[in-house]
Structure 1
Amino acid sequence: MSDVETPETAEKEELLTEAEKKALIALRRDEAAALRRWWQRLTLTPHELEKLTKQRSLPRGVRAVLRRCDSAEAAMLTQGFRELWAMLPESTKQTDYRDEQLQVWSCIALVAAELRKEESGVSLAKRLGQQKEQTGKPLMSELRFQQLLSCRTPEEFIQRLRRALALADKKGVSVVLLASVIALWWREHRGRLSAKPTQRLGFVLANDYFAATSGYSHRKD
């Protein structure tokens, strides 16, 4: 049984920045807040965590087990995922799309476990577009970025997300914005494409990536 202490509404709101609240497309705010608190319990040291919440750190090894999973289905069987599922709002779990939600959130758990240190408000695409040292090149090449955009299966998507986080040194990304991208990919994978182009995965990722690269790629022009 999980020892989850559900945060009060005010605390949940404080877990998200205003920029994150505006950028969330495929996650609700209460889902994003629950995810961030779970990630903190999974990743932070007990000393770091006690400054943020009375909830306890998850046992050592829980994160490592998630990181060894090679599929959403495997992650679904782990304690790490069960802890996350327990923290999610009941409205997320009690739905006609329960099976799909299990897949989405187990995928989120698996990928989020790779993140060692987050940066609130920074999307994965923005991080990947940042300059690598002083090379004038992004952390992820445009070719690899296009490959990330074109994933067709959950397995390929998970693999490329893990590689992307590795290129970003597994830090400097908002865990809630990372999860929103994953949830959005699943939504489109299921054929539910937004009528608004600005809320589609390709636009969301490309907009952040190329906005980041434009900060240094044209300095010599």
Structure 2
Amino acid sequence: MSRNDTSQALIFRDKAACQVLNDWFDSLQERGRYDSASRINGRVWRAQLRRAEFPHSIMVTDGYHHLAHQLNRTMQPKDLHPLALALFTAVVVHASKNNQDGSFAQQLGVKINDRECLSRLRFDRLLAARTPDELCSRLIRAIKLRGELGVNVVSLADGIFLWMQEWFARQENRELEANPFHRNSVRWASEYLLSTPQK
């Protein structure tokens, strides 16, 4: 992967972790899936997560705990921050389906009915989010605008986890990633512009 390639995940590189995300999202559509010996009602999880307040109410739901438990088996603890996972689960439950055609940011720039799914102004506001709460509400709005087209679940997770890494670094006055193409705002902007016709 070149230093300026934004097409590959930076956090969710492991295929097993990606499969966990995809399987967990798929389970949200079902009432009677079995995982090991336990029965899962994904529709109840989805309803609970949609009603829960970010972040603390999210973290006490069964759906959040199940996903955290599964990811703990495939990811390093340093990469699996509870707040990042809470933000992801709070947002992704508003997606209608897992659409793996392009990255999440590319999907926001795709035209729907002759207009970008997310206008440049709204996209700039998304990039300007300064707190996890702001990012959460703006991502939910963006995902709802995608409607039945859905979003790329793994790409969305990768962007959220990378954004949270950067947010924690700023809170602790640590240096950000030197390569700008490994920063979430640059990655999302590059990918969005790939799908947005230039005027």
TM-score (normalizing by structure 2): 0.82
Report the Cα distance in structure 2 between the residues aligned to 1:107 and 1:44, rounded to whole angstroms.
22
Deviation at 1:212, TM superposition (A): 0.4
Q: 1:172-218 deviations in whole A, cap 9, x for unaligned? A: 3110101001001101101262221111111111111111012xx55
Instruction: Give the gaps of 5 or more residues in structure 2.
Output: 1-6, 170-174
1:43 corresponds to which of 11, 22, 29: 29
Q: Which residue of 2 aligns with 1:66?
A: 49
Question: What amino acid maps onto 1:145 in structure 2?
Answer: F
Q: Which residue of 1 aligns with 2:183?
A: 200
Alignment of 1:41-190 (within 5 A): 41-44=27-30, 57-90=40-73, 92=75, 95=77, 97=78, 101-133=81-113, 135=114, 137-169=115-147, 171-190=149-168
Name the SS for the 2:150 alignment partner: strand
Report if the CA contact (8 A) 1:165-1:171 is conserved. Answer: no
1:26 corresponds to which of 11, 20, 24: 11
Deviation at 1:170, TM superposition (A): 5.4
Question: What amino acid maps onto 1:107 in structure 2?
Answer: L
Q: 1:132-189 deviations in whole A, cap 9, x for unaligned? A: 21x3x31111111001001111111000000000111153311010100100110110
Report if the CA contact (8 A) 1:41-1:56 is conserved. Answer: no
Q: Per the alignment, do residues 143 and 77 of structure 1 end up closer, same or farther by CA in structure 2, a change over 3 Å counting?
A: same
Deviation at 1:57, TM superposition (A): 4.8
Root-mean-square deviation (Å): 2.6
Report the Cα distance in structure 1 between the residues aligned to 2:52 and 2:149, rounded to whole angstroms.
20
Q: Which residue of 2 aligns with 1:13?
A: none
TM-score (normalizing by structure 1): 0.74
Question: Identity, % of aligned pairs?
Answer: 29
Q: Which residue of 1 aligns with 2:172?
A: none
Report the Cα distance in structure 1 between the residues aligned to 2:185 and 2:85, rounded to whole angstroms.
21
Q: Per the alignment, do residues 121 and 199 of structure 1 end up closer, same or farther by CA in structure 2, a change over 3 Å counting?
A: farther
